[in-house]
Amino acid sequence: MLAGLAVALVPGTPSLHIAPQTIGLVVLPPLLYASAEELPLRDLRTVWRPVTVLAFGLVLASAAAVGALASILTPLGGGMAFVLGAVLASTDPVAVTALGRRLSLPGRVQVLVQAESLFNDATSLVLFKVALSFAVAAGGTVGWQSAGGQFVLLAGGGSAIGAAVAGWWY
């Protein structure tokens, strides 16, 4: 990060534009894979129910809470406040893994938190796209089918790339 900041501050450095799809389909899956590699499948099977509830419910509740506070405390309108909530709703799986190790959390709690942080990214990304569509369209024409399709694309695409990397790696 510091090297990137130093390069950015050099006068005459050309600006670099990366499409959001590139981050979602190229950068994010290897990061998630690296974190998921430390999570045994049998441990994931023991916590899949609460992880599912947290990956959907907690992300939605966090986005709503941040959006509500942002609309009260800042000049942002409701739509843009909810976009901010969607951006901030998910946790970073790499940071969660490192923090869990440092705090010496009990095994089941560490597996639960680590697994949830792996799966909440798809929910957060879809929620961001839907919130942005509503904010831009001032009421929007985004439906549940479109949101569901985006979720399947993002979650399935990330899973497919992760499986491809795993197959290539092993």
Per-residue confidence (pLDDT) for residue 52, from 0 to 100:
85
**Which structure tokens are listed for 48?**
């899949």
At 35-52, the pLDDT tens digits run: 777 777 788 788 888 888
CA–CA separation, 133 and 150 (whole Å): 12
CA–CA separation, 73 and 71 (whole Å): 6
CA–CA separation, 106 and 103 (whole Å): 9
CA–CA separation, 118 and 124 (whole Å): 11
Q: Where are the chain's structural domains?
A: 22-162
Per-residue confidence (pLDDT) for residue 7, from 0 to 100:
83
CA–CA separation, 92 and 124 (whole Å): 11
SS (H, E, C) 65-83: HHHHHHHHHCCCCHHHHHH
In this prediction the pTM is: 0.65
Amino acid type, 154: L
